[in-house]
């Protein structure tokens, strides 16, 4: 285990954010699996259009990722009622939902990209937004 006790405060802060971002990426990979799986089920099997299936799949993944982030990524920052973190998380991730769905739609409609690949690009872009804002607002230090 690496000890940061003798490090300057700014270096410790960068190290902590980097460690937290790694956890966020692992949680995001689980969420992406939920998102992609639900998207396939809703679009290919249930016959929903992408603009209906994508937001539903994202909401399912938001529920899973909120719980995982709450108990693992930001376990040391969550205090008080869970609703005080769930509401900003939902609002921030709704912005991510708009980013993801918008990119998915544009890439499929304008470039003919397969929806599965377009969703990966949208989800990756939204993940940067989601981490930055959730780190600063939802689970602020």
Give the model confidence (pLDDT) of 30-50 as tens digits.
999 999 999 999 999 999 999
> From CA 120, how far away is CA 105, in angstroms rounded?
12
**Does the reported pTM lie above 0.75?**
yes
Q: Decide if 1 is inside a domain.
A: no
Is the pLDDT at 141 greater than 70? The verdict is no
Is the pLDDT at 101 greater than 90? The verdict is yes
Instruction: Please tell me the total count of domains within the chain.
Output: 1
Q: What is the pLDDT of residues 9-30, one digit of tens each?
A: 999 989 988 998 899 889 999 9
> From CA 134, how far away is CA 125, in angstroms rounded?
15
Is the pLDDT at 5 greater than 90? The verdict is no
Of the candidates 72, 58, 94, 91, the one whose C-alpha atom is nearest the C-alpha of residue 22 is: 72
Per-residue pLDDT at 43: 97
Q: Decide if 45 is inside a domain.
A: yes
Q: Decide if 98 is inside a domain.
A: yes
Host domain of residue 130: 17-138
Q: Decide if 4 is inside a domain.
A: no
Q: Is 27 exposed, middle or buried (0-12, 13-18, 19+ CB in 10 A)?
A: buried
Q: Decide if 5 is inside a domain.
A: no
Is the pLDDT at 2 greater than 80? The verdict is no
> From CA 43, how far away is CA 53, in angstroms rounded?
6
Q: Decide if 114 is inside a domain.
A: yes
């Amino acid at each position: 285990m690496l000890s940061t006790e003798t490090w300057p405060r700014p270096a410790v802060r960068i190290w902590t954010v980097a460690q937290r971002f790694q956890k966020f990426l692992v949680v995001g990979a689980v969420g992406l699996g939920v998102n992609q799986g639900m998207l396939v089920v809703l679009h290919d099997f249930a016959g929903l259009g992408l603009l209906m299936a994508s937001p539903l799949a994202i909401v399912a993944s938001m529920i899973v990722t909120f719980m995982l982030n709450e108990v693992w990524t930001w376990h040391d920052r969550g205090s008080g009622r869970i609703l005080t973190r769930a509401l900003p998380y939902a609002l921030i991730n709704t912005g991510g939902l708009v980013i993801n769905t918008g990119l998915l739609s544009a890439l499929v409609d304008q470039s003919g990209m397969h929806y599965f690949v377009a969703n990966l690009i949208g989800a990756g872009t939204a993940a940067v937004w989601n981490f930055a804002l959730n780190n600063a607002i939802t689970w602020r230090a």
